[in-house]
Chain A
Amino acid sequence: DTGVSQDPRHKITKRGQNVTFRCDPISEHNRLYWYRQTLGQGPEFLTYFQNEAQLEKSRLLSDRFSAERPKGSFSTLEIQRTEQGDSAMYLCASSLTWDRAYEQYFGPGTRLTVT
């Protein structure tokens, strides 16, 4: 059973450009989460999906951010008109079901640098 994978692992972009990240959860995990982690901080929740439905979005997710999970499998996170403040590690996680005891399995993250 492979773990959560994310692509790319690193992305350097110029301010104002659009970027898209991909997350492939553990197969059959119906919940998928996106977090953002800036230097020296813990991860902060951005959004999550149950199958293809986006059920919760943080206010951190401005209108420049959009996430999709079109077929309930992989997910994409797009940032439009990137700003230097978007530089961070973007983490994806998945879990099998909602059960308060069920841990979220994290991927290796995509590190975004906006120059």
Chain B
Amino acid sequence: AQKITQTQPGMFVQEKEAVTLDCTYDTSDPSYGLFWYKQPSSGEMIFLIYQGSYDQQNATEGRYSLNFQKARKSANLVISASQLGDSAMYFCAMRGGSEKLVFGKGTKLTVNP
């Protein structure tokens, strides 16, 4: 069975600073993918970044980067230069041998001016 754990219910960051959102995972699948989604108060899930289990380099997408440590089974999201619009729920998810995404409980990020 696959499991995603996000231990930070809420995080606060000052505008323009960097923030790291934690994610650990558990799976027995040798090949898997890790995803981060953003969910604003409007409710829509917005894809941010993807990391494959065999990818040698950490994924980056603009201000988002994924700190992938396979041995520790962690896939932390780093947001650089936070903006007020980054305030939202953030979900870590994984997909292994099945089509479905398995999500964590999420972290609520608040960016303060």
* A and B found bound together: yes
A contact residues vs B (CB 8 Å cutoff): 31, 33, 35, 40-45, 48, 55-56, 58, 89, 91, 93, 98, 100-101, 103-109, 111
Enumerate chain A residues within 8 angstroms of B32, measured Cβ to Cβ.
100
The residue from B43, B47, B50 contacting A108, defined by CB atoms under 8 A apart: B43
Tell whether B35 is near chain A: CB-to-CB under 8 Å: yes
User: When A and B form their complex, what is the total count of cross-chain residue pairs whose Cβ atoms lie within 8 Å?
Assistant: 60
Enumerate chain B residues within 8 angstroms of A42, measured Cβ to Cβ.
4, 91, 93, 103-106
Inter-subunit contact B106/A111 (CB<8 Å): no
A30: min CB distance to chain B, Å: 12
Enumerate chain A residues within 8 angstroms of B98, measured Cβ to Cβ.
56
Enumerate chain B residues within 8 angstroms of A48, measured Cβ to Cβ.
99-100
Inter-subunit contact B105/A104 (CB<8 Å): no
Interchain Cβ contacts under 8 Å between A and B, 6 examples: A42-B104, A45-B101, A48-B100, A56-B100, A103-B35, A106-B37
Enumerate chain B residues within 8 angstroms of A105, measured Cβ to Cβ.
47
When chains A and B are docked, how far (Å) is the Cα of A42 from the Cα of B98? Answer: 18
The residue from A43, A100, A104 contacting B47, defined by CB atoms under 8 A apart: A104
The residue from B50, B99, B100 contacting A103, defined by CB atoms under 8 A apart: B50
Inter-subunit contact B99/A89 (CB<8 Å): no
Given A42-B105, A100-B31, the answer on whether A109 and B43 have CB atoms closer than 8 Å is: yes
Enumerate chain A residues within 8 angstroms of B91, measured Cβ to Cβ.
42-43
Q: How does the 8 Å CB contact mask read for B38-77 relative to A, with 1 for contact and 0 for none? A: 0000111111001010000000000000000000000000
Inter-subunit contact B105/A40 (CB<8 Å): yes
Inter-subunit contact A45/B45 (CB<8 Å): no
Inter-subunit contact A41/B33 (CB<8 Å): no
Enumerate chain B residues within 8 angstroms of A111, measured Cβ to Cβ.
43
